[in-house]
């Protein structure tokens, strides 16, 4: 993912797992760019938290698009960090506002199922 100036904000690791029982993509991790890294910071400014959230949501949207365009009906996103867990909780709390998409947690995975549109 890049910003409007073409600078890399994050790299996502996404795996086509269509050999599994259900057709699915697995979204394994997001590596944030140095300007968004939380490893060296003692405190997080709200602007950094907002930027990280925007990156994660944009990557999730792109992964859902990839799964859908590839004929897949399911996207599984693995939770490696507390930030991702918070994003999952926000997405789950808003899931009723997302028509055509079913969201739920399965252990450390967020499962996004695309419902068939008639």
| Per-residue pLDDT tens digits for 23-68 | 566 766 777 777 776 665 666 677 777 777 778 777 777 777 877 7
Residue 35, pLDDT score? 72
Collect all residues with Cβ–Cβ distance below 8 Å to 26 and sequence separation of at least 6: 14, 15, 17, 75, 76, 77, 78
Residue 118, pLDDT score? 41
Q: What's the CA gap between 55 and 97, in Å, rounded?
A: 21
Q: What is the mean pLDDT of the chain?
A: 75
Q: What's the CA gap between 47 and 44, in Å, rounded?
A: 8
Residue 91, pLDDT score? 81
Residue 1, pLDDT score? 64
Render 50-99 in DSSP notation, one character per residue: HHHHHHHHHHHHHHHHHHHHTT--EEEEE--SHHHHHHHHHHHHTGGGST
Q: Is the pLDDT of residue 7 over 50?
A: yes
Q: Residue ranges per domain, the chain? A: 10-33+42-114
């Amino acid at each position: 993912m890049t910003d409007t100036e073409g600078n890399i904000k994050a790299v996502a690791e996404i795996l086509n797992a269509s050999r599994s029982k259900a057709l699915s993509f697995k979204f394994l991790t997001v590596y944030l760019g140095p300007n968004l890294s939380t490893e060296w910071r003692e405190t997080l400014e709200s602007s950094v938290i907002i930027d990280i959230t925007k990156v994660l949501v944009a990557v999730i949207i792109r992964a859902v698009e990839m799964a859908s365009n590839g004929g897949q009906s399911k996207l599984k996103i693995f939770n490696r960090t507390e930030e991702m867990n918070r994003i999952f909780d926000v997405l789950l709390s808003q899931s009723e506002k997302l028509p055509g998409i079913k969201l739920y947690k399965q252990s450390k995975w967020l499962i996004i199922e695309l419902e068939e549109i008639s």
